[in-house]
Structure 1
Amino acid sequence: MSGRAVYADVVATIALTAGAVFTVLNLEPVTLRAVLAGVLVLFLPGYALTTLVFPAAKETRPGVGDLPSAFTGSETEHAGLPFFERLALGVGLSVALVPVFAWGLEVGGFEFTGPNVAAVCGTFAVVATVLGAVRRLRVAAETRYVPPVGVLVRYREVARGRSDWDGALNVALAAVVVVATATVAFALISPASVGSASYTQVSLLTEQDDGSLVAGDYPQNLSVGESGELVLLVENFEQETTNYTVVVQLQRVESNGDVVATNEIDRFSETLRAGDSWQLTHEVAPQISGENVRLAYLVYRGDAPQSPNVESSYRHVTLWMNVEDGSDTGT
């Protein structure tokens, strides 16, 4: 048997791994990316591990009198595995390795995202395949594993003699593999990381004497012209770079909830990358007096409309204030 045939699966595994990693990291077409992502996660690492663990075509066991030789590094005692068992075990081992990869990413301080998972699976597959090729080279030629030629024809001949029950089991196994592949592939091609959603979080805070920010101690009793300091915190979890516009308003609100007067204090804008936050320190000096005055921070993605209000905002935070007329102060 030629050397090319001996290492055909090694070359194919490395080439398929490289293509799958490149596709997951760089290409946009969803269908191709999903298919290769599923193969990368749910087959290639496990098959590479079988290449490393089982360098022989069939298992060779030493006799009882030869047990010590099993621990001497002899080249004739190597675990073997036929082709179809390698394929099935490749899927099972890959599924078992996914939690290990996730744990490794967590320990290393990396997020469980598509690019990171692809990098870990690809690296493991390539390293295990290369080491497996080295082990296979050290096995005696008569027991060395060689990928079968014309495997589909041979499998068809074997399948003819199997019962309907065996066929049903094969269909069920194939269905499980397809569902698992689709699930993991969707997680890899999804723009958001697993278990996350796209949103923007807005908080209204105040700064304490020690410099810490708390959601409390708000300046809720002021006079017209008197200022109070607030801190608006905008956090971008939209999974993409987002431009924000903040409109600050003072609103006089009737008891039935109707806004009868509005005073726009200021507008701000900022562009945040995914995962970044914007801390806006703002001085509020009310020009509307009354007991039902509402300070509103209206947050928009992109530009704000000509007549901004709570209903049209993407996110908003409000603070009720009692504002006294400065002319009513005693002498």
Structure 2
Amino acid sequence: MSESKIDIDRILSIIFFIAIIIAIVMTVYVIVTPKQGEKFTEFYILGPEGVADDYPTDLTVGEEGEVIIGVVNHEYASITYLLEVKLNETVMGDEKLCLEHNETWEQPFFFEVAEKGEDRKVEFLLYRDQDRNESDETGEPYRSLHLWVDVC
């Protein structure tokens, strides 16, 4: 009986030792491997002062409005974006951007509205290049923002 007890103790010791080695290896792996967070893109518009306030929502015909457009890449890869700005479905401007991970792009954008009217929709559309179909240039935007402008 004592020999079988020694065999069981030896087997349990080996299993315990292997479990400790596995736990150490897993702990080292978790510490060494960088954590990849959520993949997303920040897309925002700011007023002329660089804050989320004082947007040009009341303009006169021919008056210039200004906003700051910002894009921040948190996709953990280099991404090419297409930025389009439309007024009532008419493209007012577009720009292609290539941003590395954690890179920020901010630029002022000036626009003017040539016709009177209430609730003129200025749309800011951001497309990811890999999401666009070459044969269909009107795919769904990756991110979109809008600003309602009254023009008198």
Query: Normalising by structure 2, what TM-score?
Result: 0.76
Question: Is 1:227 aligned to 2:64, yes or no?
Answer: yes
Secondary structure of the 1:274 match is coil
Secondary structure of the 1:248 match is strand
Question: Is 1:313 aligned to 2:150, yes or no?
Answer: no
Q: Which runs of 5+ in 1 are unaligned?
A: 1-159, 252-261, 325-331
Shift of 1:196: 2.1
| Aligned counterpart, 1:36 | none
| Aligned counterpart, 1:87 | none
Secondary structure of the 1:275 match is coil
Q: Which runs of 5+ in 2 are unaligned?
A: none
Shift of 1:217: 0.6
| Aligned counterpart, 1:272 | 99
Correspondence list, 1:1-331, <5 A: 162-165=6-9, 167-168=11-12, 170-172=14-16, 174-175=18-19, 177-178=21-22, 181-182=25-26, 185=29, 188=32, 193-194=34-35, 196-208=37-49, 213-251=50-88, 262-287=89-114, 289-302=116-129, 305-307=136-138, 312-324=140-152
Secondary structure of the 1:239 match is coil
Shift of 1:289: 4.2
Pick the structure with more helix per residue: 1
Secondary structure of the 1:181 match is helix
**2-structure distance, mates of 1:288, 1:169:** 84
Shift of 1:183: 6.4
* Higher Cα radius of gyration: 1
Structure 1's 291 and 175: CA in aligned 2 closer, same or farther, altered over 3 A? Answer: farther
Shift of 1:282: 0.6
**1-structure distance, mates of 2:31, 2:122:** 41
Q: Is the 8 A contact 1:263 1:287 kept in 2?
A: no
How high is the sequence identity, in percent, across the aligned residues?
A: 23
Q: Is the 8 A contact 1:232 1:282 kept in 2?
A: yes
**2-structure distance, mates of 1:226, 1:295:** 15
Q: Which has the higher contact order (CA 8 A, sep 6+)?
A: 2
**1-structure distance, mates of 2:113, 2:12:** 76
Query: Normalising by structure 1, what TM-score?
Result: 0.38
Pick the structure with more strand per residue: 2
Q: Is the 8 A contact 2:48 2:55 kept in 1?
A: no
Secondary structure of the 2:47 match is strand
**2-structure distance, mates of 1:176, 1:224:** 75
Tell me the alpha carbon deviations over residues 205-227 of structure 1, each in whole angstroms, 9 at most, x when there is no partner.
Answer: 1232xxxx211110011133321
User: For residue 217 of structure 1, what is the amino acid of its counterpart?
Assistant: D
Secondary structure of the 1:228 match is strand
Secondary structure of the 1:164 match is helix
**2-structure distance, mates of 1:169, 1:315:** 57
Secondary structure of the 1:281 match is strand
Q: Tell me the matched-pair count.
A: 145
Shift of 1:244: 1.2
